[in-house]
Structure 1
Amino acid sequence: MYFVNGEVKSPGGFSYQPGLTVRKAVTLAGGFTERAAEKKITVIRGNDASHKEYGVQLDDPVFPDDILTIPEGFW
């Protein structure tokens, strides 16, 4: 499993697939909402005991137990 939270159309937990990227994970979560800050996506790695958030790009890999957060953009 991995999780997608924030400004996507269908946030929640999803079955992990090998080769998964942030872009595909967002697509499987219904895509971005119109308020999404697409360039400010963060991840908490499931294997990182410190629970530190890292910035990620759309082509970066997703790993099991990752938690992706897509924040709201402010104009």
Structure 2
Amino acid sequence: MTEIHSKARIRWACRRGMLELDVLFMPFVEDAFDSLSVEQQAIFQRLLTEEDPDLFAWFMGHKECKDEQLNSMVQLILDRVRV
């Protein structure tokens, strides 16, 4: 699979059932994904496999993600939004 197809799949996976998540993921993948390390890119892709209600709770601060890697990615995305 070429990088272009992979990026297209990631963009598609960023389209969620909740506008609040779309607003976080779409700009992040466009502006920051390419600058992530290979490991961070894999963690981001794993984050996209999680269920929308869990993602929403993590990003809105209603509950903390117990997976350290996913939690660090959530924080990275939130930090970029706050800038």
Query: TM-score, length-normalised on structure 1?
Result: 0.28
Larger radius of gyration: 2
Considering Cα pairs closer than 8 Å and 6+ residues apart, tell me whether 1 or 2 has the greater RCO.
Answer: 1
Higher-strand-fraction structure = 1
User: Which structure has greater helix proportion?
Assistant: 2
